Structure 1
Amino acid sequence: MSDAPETAPSPPPSTPPAPSPPSAPSTPPPPEPPATARDGRLSYAVFQLARAHRARAAAMLRTMNLHPGQELLLMQLFDRDGQTQAELLERVGLDHSTVSKSLRRMQESGLLTREPAAHDRRVMVVSLTDAGRALQEPIAEMWRTLERISVRDLAPDQVEAFTAWAYVVERSVREDGR
């Protein structure tokens, strides 16, 4: 008789190792998507996630009298004030009419100015006002809070993996649309 503890027999070498089960979320499984979306579960989940995230962000932005997307423009200006409208368009990846409308609203609210560039009067340079600059910390705090809410049920490695995979999916969707 041996003093070694008994171990379960290992599977035969030809059997691939069983995948480790995914860690169970702390919330119940999501409801079934509509029948039409069952062959697009990931796309449906991304849509639901984006909608919920945007709604929560919109509620937080309302407390600062901002509309969704305006904070993205402000963040670009916090990083580098005095950009042209074309540069902002490129950086935020929104369409021209959306950016123009947002900038007009923000100018009317006193958050920024738009003035012709010295080198070309057709080019508009967008600059923050003191009121716009004053939103930097509230917007940063809003994003920190939104991040805490978003990741509260995830381990740090899950956050990193989810973020990486989200960018992979985003790149695939963008490249397919070209």
Structure 2
Amino acid sequence: MESLHYLLMKAHSMFSRKVLGEVGKTGLTPGQPKVLEFLLQYQEADQKTIAAYCEIEPATVGSILLRMEDSGLIVRRQKNGNRRSLYVSLTDKGYQAALQVADMFRTVETDALAGLSADEAATLQALLFKLCTSLQTNPERKKEQS
């Protein structure tokens, strides 16, 4: 059997290729679908939170958000008078695009999981969640190892 590293990389690459192929038909650029999916779920957030959740560098998220704002997909505004943080939310156009992206994601997920039973799919999702959790940076752990 192939190594875990290889299988994760291959699955990610194949899944991403299918998603980007579908999303490319909408005119969205890379990075935008993740942000749309996040905002569909959480409605509003600051740039730092979006970057962390989407695993994108904050500077990169800034340019993604600028393009999305120029396209009318999002709005950025101050919240509670906080001038240092702009909060991002979907416009009506962005909401419709997010629904379309979510449908595309579901279609690709359905195709990817077609060979698995419902129990196997749930187990895979649970194991991947545990894997992601264990790979997250833990400052306390770093201090202990030093």
TM-score normalized by structure 2? 0.81
Give the partner amino acid of 2:76: R
Which aligned pairs between 1:1-178 and structure 2 lie closer than 5 A?
A: 41-175=3-137
**Which structure has the higher relative contact order (CA within 8 Å, separation 6+)?**
2
Q: How far did residue 149 of structure 1 move?
A: 0.8
User: Separation in 1 of the partners of 2:33 and 2:98?
Assistant: 9
Q: How far did residue 163 of structure 1 move?
A: 1.4
**CA deviation map 1:2-31 (0-9, x unaligned):** xxxxxxxxxxxxxxxxxxxxxxxxxxxx8x
Aligned length: 140
1:67/1:156 CA distance change after superposition, 3 Å = same
Q: How far did residue 175 of structure 1 move?
A: 4.4
Give the partner amino acid of 1:127: S
Q: How far did residue 87 of structure 1 move?
A: 2.9
1:162/1:100 CA distance change after superposition, 3 Å = same
- Cα RMSD of the aligned pairs, angstroms, is 2.3
* SS of the residue 1:123 aligns to: strand
Q: How far did residue 108 of structure 1 move?
A: 1.8
**CA deviation map 1:42-69 (0-9, x unaligned):** 1011111111111111111111211333
Q: How far did residue 115 of structure 1 move?
A: 2.9
Gaps of 5+ in 2: none
* SS of the residue 1:122 aligns to: strand
More helix by share: 2
Contact 1:57/1:68 (8 A) holds in 2: no
User: Separation in 1 of the partners of 2:123 and 2:44?
Assistant: 35
Contact 1:78/1:133 (8 A) holds in 2: yes
* SS of the residue 2:39 aligns to: helix
Identity within the alignment, %: 25
Gaps of 5+ in 1: 1-29, 34-40
1:82/1:154 CA distance change after superposition, 3 Å = closer
